[in-house]
Chains A and B, each alone.
Chain A
């Protein structure tokens, strides 16, 4: 297991050092500084073995976090733990910076004592930790409070504390997607996938039981079988096939595996409920139609049409089209119908920006690129045209069907909860070859 944990600043000075195992000597702190932080050549692996001691490190801005061990530990777990530790620290005192760490070093030691015991990660959910690691002492607690804390820390629902109360029960659901595309010049989709996240922010009283439903094809098909057949056919069209998804630890995985239902008791505040990937029937918000013509050896004519492919009532924002130009470009003249376009010599590209664009519209840019004659035999590789945008819908087609909240002990019902849902689709790597 983890033998020790060190935090260094960018100079390699130790800010925090906590040793959990006897096999880690004091020289380990220096070994990492000398061989990794001060190494002449940048280290090329997040795992380094120095004299039979293994160092795992992650960097947050200019702070180094390193875990040390002499055993065959679960490497994935160590990294997950380091990330978790960053989350916990951020939740307690904000950004991980040298100043913040120094200001909170006592707190950090206290946290490290709690979340790592003999190198074994223990409960590290901020929700639970904040109930008893407060830097205020725990003198005033009653016996009931104490046992509530311990049962929560060790319990099945370690991520939420009891007795949360809100005047107004409210939850926010964000479906955030990034859509990736590689398209041939002829408009054939070479590869496309959406990676999405469902981020939830909940302000709910008590220990609410939630059920989240989306238009998952497997669920819809299953329901369709039981219900009327024509309805199934209708909804079948709108359902989406999810390639893979992962869930926050609050979700009951065995239930998802057997019934494909997503039920959970949410942490308080903001967290990521799930991540997913889809590759089928993706709505591509934009289509890029390139036309590149070489006029002689010193001129290129480029025409690019973009078409928005969604409901006319919706607006896409922050649209940016990046048209690469050859290295020997000497001058560019651009005419565009909408937005602003500029040739950026330093980036070897024409950058065309449009603030907003409604659905089912199209716009066009044409450019004349003058080239310097070169002896270079190598042909210009024609990098793809890339695009950035943001649209108010989910390109995967994912729809939230419901998010039901049940809290039997308190007197509020599903109807009393104010729920917000929004969809944001962004471009990931969205490229069209030309």
Chain B
């Protein structure tokens, strides 16, 4: 009774035991009379620990004597001592024959101990081990199933060839034993035997027997057979061992409901290797797996998540079930975070993958990832990672408040990561950038060394992402120059100084101070210093010749590092042969940095998703990276999607779809810069952005500044190219931005265009037209138009009631369409529409609906319901509705893209009778998010280069030719998806003429 109360007190954790228990109910408290007091007293065994303490000399000899004693008890004691010695690592193999002699016993405890000894030492004494065979074979025939199983289980663990030969017959019998306990043990034994001698297992036909066990009536036998087969199949990647077909899958799914938690894991892990034939099979498996998400065992939950994540790939996205499934996944994942910390860690590592693959699942669950004070450090760090992944405009304020909190904690790693996270937020959510920067500055003020260094590293990235915005903080950063002792922070600071050399008065002094200990710096810092000084020289050539020469010689002549030397030589040659090119190379506009960092490369991510729950998902590495031998070398892939799956977002595009859907690379390399830019959401509305003119103007001027400096540099030991020097005599400051542009250059003079963008006008919206005549709709007339207002596509309708009765209960639905237009909310008709009454409604549209290519492309089929009936009509929207606000392409990118798109994709159209001049046309088009990137005039003809981006990420590039006095314009359109050209042209015409 007492024990029982104690047990109960554990549940309630009330300190004062049963006295203060708060009961609801009227029955009196009586102690249950129960046999729960199974807290057995180990009176006689309290002495087991003594076995650990024998350290005498001559111990082995003594043990030998005891093992051969006639008294059973003494024998048993001796074996225990042997096992204890074995555990602590002493070599007791010399006792082999004596221990094996104890095997013939009906005392099960003793037998088990002897078996344990055998498993450990049989390999080192193979000849002696044979002595045990007889007993094993005999035990396999024992009437007691527990003993039969024990024998076959142990035999499989004895890795001696001669023994395995004897194992085959007993194993065969045990696989067909009448007792399920023996069968489930035999199933695992096949895997053991396979590990010792694969050929033997195949020759003996055990694999077929094992396959038969998948249909066994006992769920645990099924589960163990599945586990054994999966393991064997892994070492034979190409064998058809686990030929999963709908019938076996069905059997597995049935067993799944009945077997132990561990068995469920084996089965789910096996199911994850199956590829369903079609989306329907996929759905039906998912339906039968989802109940597992409520299992208390986290491993069952994670394995179920793995199956679902994998099979979901095959479901069409517009399927209702797909959405349901997505919703079902979030709660169990959140619940995993209340498990024990070690499991939380595994769960978080996996959630990190899931969030990258399907961000929508957990996007509303930010709060659960907030770090708790008592979380172990490994949980904290992982949570932080996921917080950044989930950060968005909607939750950024909360996230920042948390991060700021974390940055004052004690753990150095955690604090660093928190500071870094603030920087990543700035880059990810533009609206928060300012707040992030000021938070970082606050942190720099704390003067905590590692906080300052970390902050500087992230500020560098912020500078790169938002040029010309936060440079005012440079002064503060420079104050902390001395405290930087980590290479990464030093390198970041040097980069900043080099990049903004023209704004930092004493840039040369600062860099020079770093140069003093050049050879003691890490490579990272050396490389950065080299580049920064070359930048500085290109910007302020006069004062810094000496410095550049110094660094070049340090890098090329005094360094053993090939990377550094190579870079040094490249700069040297560049500067000597073609300073203009040097300028273009060194001071080139830098590729944008991606907003997501540390993203796992997509193919690896896919593979890791297939390994959810396993070590691979914890390490974020493919199994081949940490598993030896043939196991796990097989690369798993997610199944391809069916029907309107993956490519559904832009079905009507060819290569453009491919480019725009490729996930952003971590830091785009020059090579695929274009792809990344196409994919990135460039900074939103550019109308207020800084005009690009100044930089190009400066470039022009600076090009000449070079002359003087360079000449003298080249005059030295390097020897200049004869072409140099000619036009470079002018004093540095004499060349203002108004340097006349070269006349000949083709597209090059695009750069000359300043920010001469006219005032944006409203987006073009066609006049309302009647979509649904009253005759066809029992008196309901709908006329309407489409408009893009403040970035939102709207369908503006006038509903007129031409019938005699009141109309209510309006609702609207769209058919699938080319660009996934769908109502973003319900149709807001709040009051009933009386006879002869009209009502204006604006319906905001989203572009995330289901996609189907329509003919014509911009056709939209609509169903409107009211209390009377459902009516259908179709209308066409101008494609200009879909031009997004950030459709302004960088000029270089424009150039590259224009060249990159094959000429076959170019379409030319004539717009007749248009009486605007080119500037007016440009500003008119800008109102509808057609952005003029450049303009040039050739022989009285104005050429406007324009870009626009559709909501699904397709870019359209245009060249508009306007000749003064000629009312006919020519538009050339280039797009990777030429299907849209016709629609775009129609929109051009409509936009220009209205």
Chain A residues in contact with chain B, CB under 8 A?
1, 13-17, 19-23, 26, 29, 44-47, 49, 52, 54, 56, 58, 69-77, 79-83, 91-94, 99, 102-107, 109-110, 113, 117-118, 120-125, 130, 132, 135, 137-139, 141, 143, 146-147, 149-151, 153-156, 158, 166-168, 170, 172, 174, 176, 191, 195, 199, 201, 203, 243-249, 251-254, 256-258, 269-270, 272, 274-275, 277, 315, 317, 390, 392-393, 418, 420-424, 429
Residues of chain B with a CB closer than 8 A to A141's CB: 144
A246–B296 touching, CB < 8 Å: yes
- Of the stretches B258-266, B670-678, B698-706, B879-887, the one at the interface is B258-266
A103–B46 touching, CB < 8 Å: yes
A126 to chain B, nearest CB (A): 9
Q: Judge whether B331 is part of the interface by a CB distance below 8 angstroms.
A: yes
Query: Which B residue's beta carbon lies closest to that of A150?
Result: B181
Q: Judge whether B712 is part of the interface by a CB distance below 8 angstroms.
A: no
Query: Which B residue's beta carbon lies closest to that of A132?
Result: B146
12 A–B contact pairs at CB < 8 A?
Answer: A46-B341, A47-B346, A70-B627, A83-B340, A105-B49, A122-B260, A130-B38, A132-B146, A244-B334, A247-B296, A254-B291, A429-B372
Q: Mark B638-671, 1 if CB is under 8 A from A, else 0.
A: 0000000000000000000000000000000000
B49–A102 touching, CB < 8 Å: yes
Residues of chain A with a CB closer than 8 A to B292's CB: 253
| Bound complex: CA A252 to CA B107 (Å) | 39
Q: Judge whether B310 is part of the interface by a CB distance below 8 angstroms.
A: no
Q: Mark B321-355, 1 if CB is under 8 A from A, else 0.
A: 00000000001101100101111011100000000
Q: Judge whether B100 is part of the interface by a CB distance below 8 angstroms.
A: no
A146–B20 touching, CB < 8 Å: no
Contact residues, B57-93 vs A (CB, 8 A): 80, 83-84, 87-89
Query: Which A residue's beta carbon lies closest to that of B617?
Result: A75
Query: If A16-B87, A103-B42, A277-B334 touch, does A79 touch B291 (CB 8 Å cutoff)?
Result: no
| Bound complex: CA A132 to CA B146 (Å) | 9
B824 to chain A, nearest CB (A): 26
A248 to chain B, nearest CB (A): 5
Query: If A29-B89, A75-B346, A150-B181 touch, does A422 touch B22 (CB 8 Å cutoff)?
Result: yes
Contact residues, B113-162 vs A (CB, 8 A): 113, 115-116, 120, 143-146, 149, 153, 156-157, 159
Residues of chain B with a CB closer than 8 A to A146's CB: 144-146
A253–B48 touching, CB < 8 Å: no
Choose among B27, B113, B180, B296 the residue that contacts A151 (Cβ–Cβ < 8 A).
Answer: B180
A110–B146 touching, CB < 8 Å: no
B299–A80 touching, CB < 8 Å: yes
B804 to chain A, nearest CB (A): 35
A195–B181 touching, CB < 8 Å: no
A154–B24 touching, CB < 8 Å: no
Query: Which A residue's beta carbon lies closest to that of B191?
Result: A118
| Bound complex: CA A85 to CA B401 (Å) | 41
Main secondary structure of the interface of B (DSSP, over half): helix
Q: Judge whether B221 is part of the interface by a CB distance below 8 angstroms.
A: yes
Contact residues, B215-255 vs A (CB, 8 A): 218-221, 224, 227, 231
Known: A56-B342, A247-B295, A270-B7. 18 other contacts (CB 8 A): A14-B88, A20-B157, A49-B619, A72-B615, A76-B346, A79-B299, A91-B38, A94-B39, A103-B42, A118-B156, A118-B192, A120-B224, A139-B107, A143-B143, A170-B34, A244-B335, A245-B294, A422-B21
Query: If A77-B299, A103-B48, A105-B84 touch, does A154 touch B180 (CB 8 Å cutoff)?
Result: yes
| Bound complex: CA A56 to CA B22 (Å) | 41
| Bound complex: CA A130 to CA B40 (Å) | 11
Query: If A52-B628, A246-B295, A257-B290 touch, does A17 touch B24 (CB 8 Å cutoff)?
Result: no
Choose among A44, A82, A168, A258 the residue that contacts B377 (Cβ–Cβ < 8 A).
Answer: A44
Query: Which B residue's beta carbon lies closest to that of A175?
Result: B24
Query: Which B residue's beta carbon lies closest to that of A199?
Result: B11
Counting contact residues on chain B (CB < 8 A from A), the size range is 35 or more
A253–B295 touching, CB < 8 Å: yes
Query: Which A residue's beta carbon lies closest to that of B268?
Result: A74
B180 to chain A, nearest CB (A): 4
Query: If A106-B113, A113-B112, A277-B334 touch, does A72 touch B632 (CB 8 Å cutoff)?
Result: yes
Q: Judge whether B185 is part of the interface by a CB distance below 8 angstroms.
A: yes
Query: If A76-B343, A154-B220, A253-B292 touch, does A22 touch B22 (CB 8 Å cutoff)?
Result: no
The 5 closest A-B pairs by CB, nearest first: A244-B331, A150-B181, A102-B49, A257-B291, A76-B299
Residues of chain A with a CB closer than 8 A to B619's CB: 47, 49
B378–A77 touching, CB < 8 Å: no
Across the A-B interface, how many residue pairs have beta carbons closer than 8 Å?
317
Residues of chain A with a CB closer than 8 A to B345's CB: 45-47
A256–B49 touching, CB < 8 Å: no
Residues of chain B with a CB closer than 8 A to A52's CB: 626-628
Residues of chain A with a CB closer than 8 A to B220's CB: 122-123, 153-155, 158
Query: Which A residue's beta carbon lies closest to that of B632?
Result: A72
Residues of chain A with a CB closer than 8 A to B189's CB: 118
Residues of chain B with a CB closer than 8 A to A272's CB: 296
A275–B296 touching, CB < 8 Å: yes
A269–B36 touching, CB < 8 Å: yes
Contact residues, B796-847 vs A (CB, 8 A): none
Q: Judge whether B470 is part of the interface by a CB distance below 8 angstroms.
A: no
B87–A14 touching, CB < 8 Å: yes
| Bound complex: CA A269 to CA B4 (Å) | 10
Residues of chain A with a CB closer than 8 A to B340's CB: 58, 79, 83
Choose among A15, A155, A195, A429 the residue that contacts B218 (Cβ–Cβ < 8 A).
Answer: A155
Residues of chain B with a CB closer than 8 A to A317's CB: 20, 22
B614 to chain A, nearest CB (A): 5
Q: Judge whether B56 is part of the interface by a CB distance below 8 angstroms.
A: no
B864 to chain A, nearest CB (A): 30
| Bound complex: CA A132 to CA B150 (Å) | 13
A105–B144 touching, CB < 8 Å: no
Residues of chain A with a CB closer than 8 A to B512's CB: none
Query: Which B residue's beta carbon lies closest to that of A21?
Result: B195
B631–A71 touching, CB < 8 Å: yes
Query: Which B residue's beta carbon lies closest to that of A164?
Result: B35
Query: Which B residue's beta carbon lies closest to that of A17?
Result: B87
A74–B109 touching, CB < 8 Å: no
| Bound complex: CA A124 to CA B299 (Å) | 15
